[in-house]
Amino acid sequence: MTFEIQHTDPNSNARAGKITTDHGVIETPIFMPVGTVASVKTVHQRELKEDIKAQIILGNTYHLYLRPGIDTLERAGGLHKFNGWDGVLREIFIFFSPNIELII
């Protein structure tokens, strides 16, 4: 994965760039829809691609671990095949406790 700054604003810290991954290119800044349990709720993938122009979907690894589960994802051939999204997926693991928030 690489990140390239393409533009900067001389009056602020704002910048625009390009992230290149194995699954596609993401132009930043970007709106990133959240796909809880491997899908963006109430939005069809056609709408994500054609109307919203989503370049990436954010997911939570812990939610996927709970449901549908690792075995189901492996049998499907991975997350891209399971949810049918051919673009970039960004998975994070967030663990909450009363005193800690750990982001890995």
pLDDT digits (tens, 9 = 90+) for 13-49: 999 999 999 989 999 999 889 888 888 888 998 999 9
Q: Long-range contact list for 79-87, CB < 8 A, 24+ apart? A: 79/38, 80/23, 82/38, 83/35, 83/38, 83/39, 84/45, 85/35, 85/45, 85/48, 85/57, 86/23, 87/23, 87/24, 87/49, 87/54, 87/55, 87/56, 87/57
How many domains would you assign to the chain?
Answer: 2
Specify whether 39 is located in the same domain as 66.
Answer: yes
Is a pLDDT exceeding 60 seen at residue 99?
Answer: no
Is a pLDDT exceeding 60 seen at residue 98?
Answer: no
Is a pLDDT exceeding 70 seen at residue 103?
Answer: no
The mean pLDDT of 70-96, rounded to a whole number, is: 88
What pLDDT score does 93 carry? 75
Specify whether 39 is located in the same domain as 8.
Answer: no
Specify whether 90 is located in the same domain as 51.
Answer: yes
Specify whether 22 is located in the same domain as 45.
Answer: no
Domain around 45:
31-103
Specify whether 45 is located in the same domain as 19.
Answer: no
Specify whether 16 is located in the same domain as 37.
Answer: no
